[in-house]
Amino acid sequence: MDIRDIFKIPLFRNFTLKMQEELLDKIEYTVDRYPKGETIIRQGTSCNALHILLKGKLNVDVTDVSGNVVRVEVIQAPRTFATPHIFAEKNQFPATFTVEEEVTLVRVAKTDFFSLMHSMPQLLHNFLCVSTSCNRCTMTRLRVLSFRGIRSRYIYYLLDHLKAGSDIVEMEHNQVQLAEYFGVTRPALSKEINKLVDSGFIQISRNKVHILNKQALTCML
C-alpha cells in the first residue's frame, strides 16, 4: 500500500509536490483491511469520516422502500466514496458497501478533514467539484428510472455514458448489475438488448458496446 496513491483521485487532484508533502505531514488517518465478502458499511449508518478506497473493489447496494436490494455500482480503488455525505445534515451512508476484492480502506476523521480544507484551498475546491459530480450521478440514476420501458432505460444509459467523439461505450456494469440498476429482471433486459443487436443499432464485444446508429437510438427515447 502506498498512501501517495491518494493523489491519483479527484479529491487530491492538481496538488503540487509541496502541497502533497504538506498534506501528508498534516493528515491523520487510520488504515483497515477487509476480506472479500465482508460488509464494511451498512446503509443508514453515520458517515463521520472521509473514506478513501486505496486498494480493492466494493459493491454498492441500495435497499429501496419496498425492501428490494439494487446494485448501484461497483467502485474500484483508488477513489473516495460517499464524500458529500460527511457534511450533510443527516450524515448517513446512502448505501451498503460490501467487499468484492480485498480492500484497504483509509479513514480521515471529519473534524481533521474539515481543518485540512480550511488550510488548503485546493482541497476545498476539489471537494466542491467531487460533490457536484456525485449529485450528477444521482440525477442520472433518477433520469434512467423516469423512463418506463426497459429499452428506453438501456438506450439512455448508453447515450449518457457515451464520450464525445466516440461511438463505443465501455460498460461499468454487467447485465446482472445493469438489470438491478434499472429495477428489472435480467432476462427482460437481455431480450431488449438482443433486439437492438439484431436490428443493427448496436454491437457488443465483451464489456464494450459499439453504437452503430446513434440517431435511431436517440429517436427511440
Tell me, what's the pLDDT at 85? 87
- Stretch among 158-162, 174-178, 192-196 having the lowest mean pLDDT: 174-178
- Tell me: pLDDT of 175 over 90: no
Most confident of 17-26, 82-91, 130-139: 17-26
Q: E strands, the chain, where?
A: 30-34, 39-41, 49-63, 69-76, 79-80, 96-109, 168-170, 202-205, 208-211
Which residue intervals of the chain bear CATH 2.60.120.10? 3-145
Q: What is the mean pLDDT of the chain?
A: 88
Provide the 3-class DSSP secondary structure of residue 92: strand
- Tell me: pLDDT of 65 over 70: no
Which residue intervals of the chain bear CATH 1.10.10.10? 148-220
Residue scoring higher pLDDT (63 or 140): 63
DSSP state of 193: H
- Tell me: pLDDT of 104 over 80: yes
Does residue 78 have a cis bond before it (omega within 30 degrees)?
yes
Helix H or strand E segment including 137: helix 121-146
- Stretch among 63-67, 74-78, 114-118, 206-210 having the lowest mean pLDDT: 63-67
Q: Cell 461505450 maps to which residue?
A: 169
- Tell me: pLDDT of 147 over 80: no
- Tell me: pLDDT of 64 over 90: no
Answer yes or no: are the C-beta atoms of 19 and 92 closer than 8 Å. no
Answer yes or no: are the C-beta atoms of 209 and 202 closer than 8 Å. yes
148-220: what fold? Arc Repressor Mutant, subunit A (1.10.10)
Report the C-alpha gap between 208 and 76 in whole angstroms.
18
Beta bridge partners of 74: 59
Residues 185-190, mean pLDDT to the nearest whole number: 92
For residue 61, give every residue at least 6 positions away whose Cβ sits within 8 Å of its Cβ, in sequence order, or none: 43, 69, 70, 71, 72, 95, 96, 98
Tell me, what's the pLDDT at 25? 92
Helix H or strand E segment including 133: helix 121-146
- Residue 207: pLDDT band with limits 50, 70, 90: confident
- Residue 20: pLDDT band with limits 50, 70, 90: very high
Tell me, what's the pLDDT at 88? 83
Answer yes or no: are the C-beta atoms of 207 and 170 closer than 8 Å. yes
Q: Cell 426497459 maps to which residue?
A: 150
Tell me, what's the pLDDT at 154? 92
3-145: what fold? Jelly Rolls (2.60.120)
Q: Quick check: pTM over 0.75? A: no
Helix H or strand E segment including 213: none
